[in-house]
C-alpha cells in the first residue's frame, strides 16, 4: 500500500508532466471512486480547470486546479484530492490508446493525453472540493516537517503500543505498515512497547529513525511490494532492497543476525528483531 514516500514519488513524477495542462474532459467508469461530489457533477465540473500545482499531504495527492472561465458559475480555485489506498496509481497515455478495465477515472488533457487512475482493488478515492481541509483536517503533522520539540510534546500525550501509534494518521501523517516497522527497527524499539514508557532518549531515537527512513525511501522512489505500487512510468520503487524489518520474516537481522520475527499487532503484520528490539516488561505499580 502506498505510504508517504510512494505518494511523494507519484507527486514528483506527475508534476512535470501535468502542471500547466488543462483538463478538457472527464470519464468516470466506476462511480464509487469519486467520494464527492457525485460522479456526474465531478465529471462536469472538473473539466473547466487547469492544473496549477500538485502537492502531497500525508498519503493524499492534492491537485490545485484553477478555473478557466469566469462565465462558469464555479469557484476560481478548486482542489482534487486523491488517496491511492491499496492499489491506486496513475497512467498517462495518449487518448487514443486503449484503456484497460481497471482504469476507473480518466481525465482528458489539452495535449491529447489522458490521465488515467488505475485501481484493481477499487479502494482508491477522489474528492473535488473548494478547500482541502474538508478532507484532511484531522491529519497530524508531516513527519519530515515536525520539529524535535513538537514531536516530543505530541508523543508525551499519547498512550498505548508504539506500532498502532505510528499508523495513526492523527499522530503523524503518511506512515503506514512498511515505514512503521522500518522506523521501529532503526530506533531499536519493540512494536508493542508502551508509548508512555519511552525515555527521552528513546523518543529522540524514534524521531530520527522515522525521518531517516522516510528521507531515504523518497530518494529512491519508495518501496514496491507485490506490485501493488508502481511509479507513473511503470518502474518499481528502489527501497525494496533496503528493507530491514518489513517483509523480512525469517531473514537474519542486518545488525545482529537474529531471524526477523513476524507478529500481528492490531490486525497488521508486524516485523521486528527480537534481539535488537527487546520487549521490556511494564513497570509494576509504584515501581
Give the catalytic positions in this structure: 2-3, 59, 268
Min CB(253)–Zn ion separation in Å: 3
Min CB(259)–Zn ion separation in Å: 9
Question: According to the binding rule CB under 5 A, does residue 256 interact with Zn ion?
Answer: yes
Give, for 18, the enclosing helix (H) or strand (E): helix 4-18
At 105, is the secondary structure helix, strand, or coil?
A: strand
Residue with cell 543476525: 257
At 55, is the secondary structure helix, strand, or coil?
A: strand
Q: Which stretch binds Zn ion (CB under 5 A): 165-173, 217-225, 231-239, 273-281?
A: 273-281
Task: Give the residue, chosen from 89, 253, 265, 271, that forms a contact with Zn ion under the rule CB under 5 A.
Answer: 253
Residues 6 or more apart in contact with residue 245 via CB below 8 angstroms: 181, 182, 184, 185, 260, 271, 272, 273
Q: Which residues of 5-32 are buried (b: 16+ CB within 10 A; e: fewer)?
A: bbbbbbbebbeebbeebbbbebebebee
Q: Which stretch binds Zn ion (CB under 5 A): 38-46, 198-206, 242-250, 252-260?
A: 252-260
CA 208 remoteness from chain centre: 19
Distance CA 191, CA 274 (A): 10
Q: At what angle do helices 200-219 and 4-18 cross, to 10 degrees?
A: 40
Distance CA 176, CA 164 (A): 10
Question: According to the binding rule CB under 5 A, does residue 129 interact with Zn ion?
Answer: no
- Where would I find the H helices in 137-248? 148-156, 162-167, 177-187, 200-219
Measured from the CB atom, the residue of 180 and 253 that comes closer to Zn ion is 253
Q: Which stretch binds Zn ion (CB under 5 A): 24-32, 159-167, 198-206, 249-257?
A: 249-257
Q: Which stretch binds Zn ion (CB under 5 A): 83-91, 209-217, 254-262, 263-271?
A: 254-262
CA atoms within 13 A on the CB side of 14: 28
Question: According to the binding rule CB under 5 A, does residue 208 interact with Zn ion?
Answer: no
Question: According to the binding rule CB under 5 A, does residue 55 interact with Zn ion?
Answer: no
Measured from the CB atom, the residue of 172 and 273 that comes closer to Zn ion is 273
Residue with cell 469519486: 34
Measured from the CB atom, the residue of 66 and 254 that comes closer to Zn ion is 254
Q: Which stretch binds Zn ion (CB under 5 A): 112-120, 172-180, 248-256, 279-287?
A: 248-256
Min CB(272)–Zn ion separation in Å: 9
Measured from the CB atom, the residue of 97 and 256 that comes closer to Zn ion is 256
Number of residue whose CB is nearest Zn ion: 253
Question: According to the binding rule CB under 5 A, does residue 276 interact with Zn ion?
Answer: yes
Cell numbers for 103: 482504469
Residue 245 DSSP symbol: S
Min CB(239)–Zn ion separation in Å: 20
Measured from the CB atom, the residue of 228 and 276 that comes closer to Zn ion is 276
Cell numbers for 247: 517483509
Min CB(206)–Zn ion separation in Å: 17
Min CB(258)–Zn ion separation in Å: 5
Task: Give the residue, chosen from 255, 259, 261, 268, that forms a contact with Zn ion under the rule CB under 5 A.
Answer: 255
**Measured CA angle at 43 (ends 108, 45), to 5 deg:** 105
Which residues are at the interface with Zn ion (CB under 5 A)? 253, 255-256, 258, 273, 275-276
Amino acid at each position: 500500500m502506498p505510504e508517504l514516500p510512494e505518494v511523494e514519488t507519484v507527486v514528483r513524477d506527475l508534476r512535470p508532466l501535468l502542471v500547466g495542462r488543462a483538463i478538457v474532459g472527464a470519464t468516470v467508469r466506476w462511480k464509487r471512486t469519486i467520494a464527492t461530489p457525485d460522479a456526474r457533477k465531478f465529471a462536469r465540473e472538473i473539466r473547466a480547470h487547469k492544473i496549477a500545482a500538485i502537492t502531497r499531504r500525508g498519503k493524499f495527492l492534492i491537485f490545485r486546479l484553477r478555473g478557466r472561465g469566469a462565465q462558469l458559475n464555479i469557484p476560481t480555485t478548486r482542489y482534487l484530492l486523491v488517496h491511492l489506498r491499496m492499489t491506486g496509481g496513475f497512467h498517462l497515455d495518449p487518448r487514443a490508446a486503449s484503456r484497460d478495465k481497471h482504469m476507473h477515472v480518466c481525465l482528458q488533457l489539452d495535449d491529447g493525453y489522458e490521465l488515467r487512475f488505475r485501481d484493481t482493488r477499487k479502494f482508491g478515492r477522489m474528492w473535488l472540493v473548494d478547500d482541502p481541509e474538508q478532507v484532511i483536517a484531522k491529519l497530524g503533522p508531516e513527519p519530515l516537517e515536525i520539529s524535535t520539540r513538537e514531536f516530543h510534546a505530541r508523543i508525551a500525550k499519547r498512550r498505548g503500543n508504539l506500532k498502532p501509534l505510528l499508523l495513526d494518521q492523527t499522530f503523524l501523517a503518511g506512515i503506514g505498515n512498511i515505514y512503521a516497522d522500518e522506523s521501529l527497527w532503526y530506533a531499536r524499539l519493540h512494536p508493542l512497547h508502551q508509548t508512555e514508557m519511552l525515555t527521552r532518549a528513546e523518543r529522540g531515537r524514534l524521531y530520527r529513525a522515522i525521518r531517516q527512513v522516510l528521507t531515504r525511501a523518497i530518494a529512491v522512489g519508495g518501496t514496491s511490494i507485490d506490485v501493488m505500487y508502481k511509479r507513473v512510468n511503470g518502474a518499481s520503487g528502489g527501497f525494496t532492497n533496503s528493507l530491514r524489518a518489513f517483509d523480512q520474516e525469517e531473514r537474519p537481522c542486518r545488525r545482529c543476525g537474529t531471524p526477523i520475527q513476524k507478529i500481528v499487532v492490531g490486525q497488521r503484520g508486524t516485523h521486528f528483531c527480537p534481539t535488537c528490539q527487546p520487549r521490556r516488561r511494564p513497570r509494576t505499580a509504584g515501581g
